Amino acid sequence: MLERARWEQRHATASGPPTTPSPFVLRWARRVRGEPGPSPTALDLACGGGRHLAALVQAGWQPVGLDFSRAAARQATAFCPAAQLVVADATALPFRAQSFGLVVVSRFLDRPGLAGLGNVLGPGGVLVVETFLEDQHHATGHPALRFCLARGELARLLAAAGLVLEELEEGPCASGPETVHLARSAARRPLA
């Protein structure tokens, strides 16, 4: 609850539009939308101010943004009116199995929840994760170590979720004017 109040305050005092979407997320959103099969609905889990929602619309998806902060959901709706916003806790997803063709998890980490994300993906759907490595904590002190991945950990979590890894990068990368230490992956739910 403390964590939620902290994020609520942070979003309530945020100014300006969200920063630009991740090129990695964008590339995979375009690629999966071009494939036959998966549902045209995409989930942006812990969407914040919605920097990926408008990009998902542009890539041809019908996006659903979920965040537990009402202030974040308001910002995301203002930024991307075409998206459906759900205010809920990502640790207890209010979605039916196989609802989405794409799930995006950016700069958010819930290890037990990751195991269940394969369930809300339809067969052939793709989970794209981009979040902080422990190197980021060691370089800047943020985020807290428990919200950062060890190198190699993401591959293990995705395999445990029954997803097949299609791309994985771990290391420093440019994010606007900053260098951020990230793990980025795309992993697919098998067809059968």
Residue least distant from ligand SAM (Cβ) = 48
Task: Answer for the pair 168, 183: CB distance below 8 angstroms, yes or no.
Answer: yes
Provide the minimum distance between the beta carbon of 156 and ligand SAM in the complex, in angstroms, as a whole number.
Answer: 22
**Residue 148, interface with ligand SAM (CB under 6 A)?**
no
Given candidates 42, 53, 54, 67, which one binds ligand SAM under the rule CB under 6 A? 67
Residue given tokens 């609905």 in the structure block: 41
**Residue 7, interface with ligand SAM (CB under 6 A)?**
yes
Task: Answer for the pair 49, 18: CB distance below 8 angstroms, yes or no.
Answer: yes
Given candidates 38, 48, 63, 118, which one binds ligand SAM under the rule CB under 6 A? 48
Which residue's CB is nearer to ligand SAM, number 91 or number 140?
A: 91
Provide the minimum distance between the beta carbon of 72 and ligand SAM in the complex, in angstroms, as a whole number.
Answer: 5
**Residue 47, interface with ligand SAM (CB under 6 A)?**
yes
Alpha-carbon gap, residue 109 to 130, rounded angstroms = 9
**Residue 106, interface with ligand SAM (CB under 6 A)?**
yes
Which among 35-43, 86-94, 95-103, 121-129 is the span making contact with ligand SAM, rule CB under 6 A? 86-94
**Residue 140, interface with ligand SAM (CB under 6 A)?**
no
Query: Pseudo-torsion of CA 163, 164, 167, 170, nearest 10°?
Result: 60
**Residue 183, interface with ligand SAM (CB under 6 A)?**
no
For 74, phi then psi, to 5°, come to -65, -45
Contacts of 28 (CB under 8 A, 6+ apart): 102, 126, 128, 167, 186
DSSP 101-150: EEEEEES---HHHHHHHHHHEEEEEEEEEEEEBHHHHHHHS-S-GGGSBP
Which residue's CB is nearer to ligand SAM, number 128 or number 158?
A: 128
Q: Which residues bind ligand SAM (CB under 6 A)?
A: 7, 46-48, 51, 67-69, 72, 89-91, 106-108
